[in-house]
Amino acid sequence: MTDALCTRARAAVADAPPTGDPAYERYCRELSRALSEHWPAVVDANAIDLAHARARGLPPTLLDRLRLTDTHLDQLRHLTDTVGRELRAVTATEPAVPVAGWGRRRRVPRPLGVVLMVYEARPTVTVEGALLPVAVGNAVLMRGGKEIAHTNAALAAAAHQALRAAHLPTGLVTVLDDPDRATLRALLKRPDAIDVLIPRGSPSLIDHCRNTSTIPVIASGGGVNHLYVHRSADLDLAAEAALDSKLPEPTACNTAELVLVDTDTAARFVTALLHAAERGRRPLTVRLDPRIPPPTTGPAHPGTAPPWRIAELKEHDLGREFLDATIGVYPVAGLGEALTHIRRHGSGHTEGVWATDTAVTREFTRRVDAAAVIVNGSLRLHDGPTLGLGSELSISTGRLHARGPLTLAGLTTHSWIVEAHNTLRSSLPAPAPPLPAPLSAAPPAPAATHH
């Protein structure tokens, strides 16, 4: 079965027009149209998946990740329109550049090839995967969680309709429907047929893909992110930043899990955090390290229960994604201890600092190694469209090829086109000789002479 899947995907890449062809803009438009046409069937299929998930006892936060609404349709259609507009700039051929008087060179975009995407329970990722890689000429094999199997089948039908309408091979999009993962296990062992592996989801999923396969990986997800609040910070602003970094999308990969705060400021920061939660009546669980004294503040409105609750932050919470409206608060002696904690527990996704002391922010950005480092702002600013980088498939935490928002440009490679004008290498001047080897610091000591 895997041979047939790989052969079909590879043939689709070969048969598809070059990256930048107008057919890909047509595909974006047709996918928007097909999603609207198929949406009633998609919603019906999604209802089946939701019913099965409830029967299995999945928690409300996961049910929310599975659910599709008309709002999602509006968002996805906006995405297809945006990608269509971005294509021209991303795939434009660069002008030719003279080469040493004998020729010209230019760089042209090429697809990565066959992309295997492995993800979990967000059906919107299925549309993103059928859109962004394909829009620059890749074929994509997608394996989502079994929780969204019916939804994925309905979305695949819309994608195939759009491909046919754009006169592109339908083999550019394949949604795997193997519930026992046998096909996935086989595909992970096919570096000969698959060019790149993009896992999206939990750290365990990403680690499984890295450890199981030798296919090059563009890793995303794994958002164990921190916000360091220095004693110089405006604590009310820092508290709002912490809430904005968590509550709107508690399960997103760019949310804050732990606030590291200077010890002498920790108690006052917690009070500010609770007051901020009360102002918007925003439900919140705050996990406090035992070294921080419990807050003495009561509800702002007597006789009403506060929207927050306090729990204990334990050792196993460090380096953990809570995946709900929970944020931890952990005291540190200062910037040095905060940096050590981030190096030990962070996932290299998004880290932030809140301080008015510019020496602190400068040292934090110099020494923290993450895909994005946010200074005095919400961690959720780490997002392709928000940063003006364009539509993104994911946020890469790796170091090679792409880091940060994985945009259309990150889903392409390139070729050099060289116009040689009948030039032979042997007719060119000899290259400059290599630099001499550096002299050793000191000549070897003479051998000892015995008298």
Q: How far apart are CA 189 and CA 181, in angstroms?
A: 13
**Pair (89, 151) in one structural domain:** yes
Q: Is residue 390 part of a domain?
A: no
* Phi then psi dihedrals of residue 175, to 5 deg: -105, 115
Q: Is residue 444 part of a domain?
A: no
Question: 3-state SS of the chain: helix, strand, coil percent to 5?
Answer: 40, 20, 40
**Pair (191, 235) in one structural domain:** no
> Domain of 269: which CATH number?
3.40.309.10
Q: Is residue 273 part of a domain?
A: yes
Per-residue tens of pLDDT for the chain, all 451 residues: 789 999 999 999 999 999 999 999 999 999 999 999 999 999 999 999 999 999 999 988 789 889 999 999 999 999 999 999 999 988 887 899 999 889 999 999 999 999 999 998 889 999 999 999 999 999 999 999 899 999 999 999 999 999 999 999 999 999 998 777 889 999 999 999 999 999 987 778 888 888 999 999 998 767 899 999 999 999 999 999 999 999 998 988 899 999 999 999 999 999 999 999 999 899 999 999 999 998 876 655 666 789 999 999 999 999 999 989 999 999 999 999 999 999 999 989 999 999 999 999 999 999 999 999 999 999 999 999 999 999 999 999 888 888 999 999 999 999 999 999 999 999 998 877 777 777 655 555 555 545 4
**Pair (169, 266) in one structural domain:** no
Q: Is residue 430 part of a domain?
A: no
Q: How far apart are CA 216 and CA 399, in angstroms?
A: 12
Number of domains in the chain: 2
* Token pair for 118: 């492995």
**Pair (175, 312) in one structural domain:** no
**Pair (181, 196) in one structural domain:** yes
DSSP 238: H
DSSP 280: T
**Pair (308, 368) in one structural domain:** yes
**Pair (365, 403) in one structural domain:** no
Q: Is residue 201 part of a domain?
A: yes
DSSP 284: E
DSSP 172: G
> Domain of 63: which CATH number?
3.40.605.10
Element (H, E) at 159: helix 149-165
**Pair (275, 402) in one structural domain:** no
Which pairs count as long-range contacts for 163-168, CB under 8 Å and 24+ apart, including other chains?
163/27, 163/30, 163/134, 165/26, 165/30, 165/33, 165/34, 166/23, 166/24, 166/26, 166/27, 166/30, 167/23, 167/26, 168/16, 168/17, 168/23, 168/24, 168/27, 168/134
**Pair (191, 254) in one structural domain:** no
For helices 149-165 and 22-55, the axis angle rounded to 10 degrees is 170
* Token pair for 407: 């945009």
Strand blocks (E) in 206-301: 225-229, 256-262, 284-288
Q: How far apart are CA 238 and CA 376, in angstroms?
A: 8
Q: Is residue 423 part of a domain?
A: no
**Pair (250, 203) in one structural domain:** no
Q: How far apart are CA 30 and CA 22, in angstroms?
A: 12
Strand blocks (E) in 21-167: 97-99, 103-111, 114-118, 139-143
243 lies in which domain range?
A: 225-381
Q: Is residue 294 part of a domain?
A: yes
